[in-house]
Amino acid sequence: MNSPTRTGHDTAGSHTGESHTAGPLTGVRVLELGGIGPAPYAGMLLGDLGAHVIRVDRPQDAGLDNPAPVLHRGRRSLTLDLKHPDSTGIVRALAADTDIVIEGFRPGVAERLGVGPDTLLARNPALVYGRMTGWGQDGPLAQEPGHDINFIALTGALHAIGPADTPTVPLNLLGDMGGGGLLLAFGVVSALVTARARGAGQVVDAAMSDGSASLLAMVHGFLAQGRWRDERAANTIDGGCPWYGVYRCSDDRHVALGIGDRRSYAALVEVLALDGDPAFADQYDRAAWPAMRGTLTDVFAGRSRDEWAKVFEGRGACVSPVLSLAEAPEHPHNTARGTFRTGADGGIEPAPVPRFSGTPAADPGPAPVVGAHTDEVLARAGYGPQAIARLRAEGIVR
């Protein structure tokens, strides 16, 4: 296909009508090249704080309800067949007026599609190009497939979590989200600071394996000091001690004990009237831990979760009810802080974080119908009506 007819490109006016008018990243432009899980989570975090995020979706999904209504909130959606050679020019045009590009392809795929960092940085030298993978851009496993559980398995994180007999799968919080999407968002914003100071962009290599390893920084410090046993349920914060863990109540719900100091331990003993029990004389006496755990198991089984919550309210013992996903938004503390919000579809979702005193974030807009902004985005990139019609006719966009 010949080069499309271009309209005049007004940078100052090319981002009018953005869904955000507040937040510390207002004015930052992000292009998100598809992906699932961690890369969209990074896009959500950036968009929540005011960035203008355009997401590239597959043409075959055009017109469908958004498959990830929370992760994709606040975006513009452009459908584009990245496998078509003529799509390269569109991505280049968009990247020319963009601060950050994020992608979650395996190493080398973006280059084969013609939208790799060398290509886009040649057009926009100040561009920050964020790459989200499981294993990183290099290393013996770089081309191997995997998911969250695989990445945290090789960093020791999975080994460290769960009861003594088997590791516990911690959802996809450590690899995909914390070690992946959050790391990518932090990385591209850090690189953006440098780009704006020096006028030079760079590539950010964010790997979920690297990120989950970084999340273990404190544990590795303890291990190096001889203060951590390299086994599950054998340490103070991994369920190994009786005063840091979860107990079943009479209604088959649970309370969580997070006692990490002598003051809260003393409050626990006082509330439960265990002052005279010799097993509770020394918080750190490992020999007494089995007896301590047995007593606490029996005691907490005697009342319901909510009864225990009332008993411990305001006592400083660090005992909390374990709330379900549906219950958590109704807790008075979460309600008072607005930790959760009602989305455009009426569902409950987490509110933007963190909070800023001078540039508070606005409420994020809804996740768009896939492809809802295709014409709008192309027009802003300089494509006229005839050029857009040709792109549609050839199936490059929908």
Q: Report the pLDDT averaged over residues 91-116.
A: 97
Residues 6+ apart with CB under 8 A from 191: 128, 130, 201, 202, 204
Give pLDDT tens digits for 271-318: 999 999 999 999 999 999 999 999 999 999 999 999 999 999 999 999
- Catalytic status, residue 238: no
Domain 244-330 CATH superfamily? formyl-coa transferase, domain 3 (3.30.1540.10)
Find the mean pLDDT for residues 246-262: 97
User: Peptide bond preceding 354: is omega within 30 degrees of 0, i.e. cis?
Assistant: yes
Question: Residue 4: is its pLDDT beyond 70?
Answer: no
- Three-state DSSP class for residue 342: strand
Q: Which of 203, 199, 169 is nearest to 188 (CA)?
A: 203
User: Could you tell me the pLDDT band of residue 12, with boundaries at 50, 70 and 90?
Assistant: very low
Residue 17's pLDDT is 38
Choose, from 10, 65, 147, 220, the residue flagged as catalytic.
147
Indicate if the pLDDT at residue 3 is higher than 90.
no
Please report, rounded to a whole number, the percentage of residues in the chain having pLDDT higher than 90. Answer: 93
Q: Does 212 or 5 have the greater pLDDT score?
A: 212
Q: What is the mean pLDDT of residues 119-143?
A: 98
Mean pLDDT score of the chain, rounded to an integer? 94
Rounded (5°) CA angle 340-345-349: 20
Q: What is the CATH code for 29-215+347-393?
A: 3.40.50.10540
**Residue 101: is its pLDDT beyond 70?**
yes
Question: What's the chain's Rg over C-alpha atoms?
Answer: 25
Residue 2's pLDDT is what?
Answer: 36
Q: How confident is the model at residue 21 (pLDDT cuts 50, 70, 90)?
A: low
Nearby residues of 27 by Cβ (< 8 Å), 6 or more positions away: 15, 50, 52
Length of the chain: 398
Contact 76, 377 (CB under 8 A): yes
Identified catalytic residue from 86, 99, 148, 176:
176
Q: Judge whether 292 and 280 are in contact, CB under 8 Å.
A: yes
Ranges of each domain in the chain: 29-215+347-393, 244-330
Write down the pLDDT at residue 344.
85
* pLDDT for res 9: 32
**DSSP letter string, 60-101:** GGTTSPPS-TTTTTTEEEEE--TTSTTHHHHHHHHHHT-SEE
| Across 17-39, average pLDDT | 86
User: Sorting pLDDT into bands at 50, 70 and 90, what band is 136?
Assistant: very high
Structure confidence at residue 10 as a pLDDT band (50, 70, 90):
very low
* 360 confidence band (pLDDT: 50, 70, 90): very high
Q: Residue 82 — very low, low, confident or very high, per pLDDT cuts 50/70/90?
A: very high
Pairing state of beta strands 254-258 and 29-33?
A: unpaired
Q: How confident is the model at residue 250 (pLDDT cuts 50, 70, 90)?
A: very high
**Residue range 18-28: mean pLDDT, rounded:** 79
Helices vs strands, H then E, count in the chain: 14, 11
Q: Please say if the pLDDT value at position 8 is more than 70.
A: no
Q: Does the structure show a pLDDT above 80 at 16?
A: no
Annotated active-site residue 147? The verdict is yes
Measure the N-to-C terminal CA separation of the chain; round to a whole number of Å.
17
Average pLDDT over residues 240-256: 98
Count of beta carbons in the 10 Å neighbourhood of residue 245: 19
User: Other CB atoms closer than 10 Å to residue 246's CB: what's the count?
Assistant: 12
Residues with Cβ within 8 Å of residue 181, at least 6 apart in sequence: 37, 38, 39, 40, 41, 42, 44, 45, 132
Q: What percent of the residues of the chain are helix, what percent strand, and what percent coil, each to the nearest 5?
A: 35, 15, 50
Each residue of 321-357: pLDDT tens digit?
A: 999 999 999 999 999 999 999 998 899 999 999 999 9
Element (H, E) at 182: helix 182-198
